[in-house]
Structure 1
Amino acid sequence: MTISPPEELSGWQTWGAEEPFEDMAGPFFFRKTADGYVSAFKVERKHLNGGGAIHGGMLMTFADYSLFTIAYDELQNGGGVTIALNGEFTAAGPASGIIYASGEVVRETGSMVFVRGVITPDDPNADTVLLNFSGIVRKLKKRD
Structure 2
Amino acid sequence: MTAGSESLRALGWKQRELPGFAGRFGPLWTLKEEHGWAYGVLAQEEHLNPAGAVHGGALTSLLDHALSAVAWQLLDRRPCVTVQLDAQFLDAAASGDFLVARGQLIHATGSLAFLRGNVSVNDKLVVNGSAVMKIRTPKN
Mapping of 1:1-144 within 5 angstroms? 6-10=5-9, 11-12=13-14, 14=16, 18-122=18-122, 126=123, 128-144=124-140
- Report the residue type matching 2:136 in the other structure: L
Cα distance in structure 1, aligned partners of 2:46 and 2:15: 21
**CA gap 1:105/1:141 in 2 versus in 1, 3 angstroms:** same
The runs of at least 4 consecutive aligned structure 1 residues that moved more than 6 Å come to none
Per-residue CA deviations over 1:28-57 (Å, capped at 9, x if unaligned) read 232321022211011111001122110111
Gaps of 5+ in 2: none
**CA gap 1:28/1:104 in 2 versus in 1, 3 angstroms:** same
**CA gap 1:13/1:105 in 2 versus in 1, 3 angstroms:** farther
* Sequence identity percentage: 27
Question: Secondary structure at the residue paired with 1:64?
Answer: helix
- C-alpha displacement of 1:13: 5.2
- C-alpha displacement of 1:135: 0.2
- C-alpha displacement of 1:61: 1.0
| 2:15–2:27 Cα contact (<8 Å) kept | no
- CA root-mean-square deviation: 2.0
Q: TM-score, normalised by structure 1?
A: 0.82
Aligned residues: 134
Q: TM-score, normalised by structure 2?
A: 0.84
The structure whose residues are more often strand, as a share, is 2
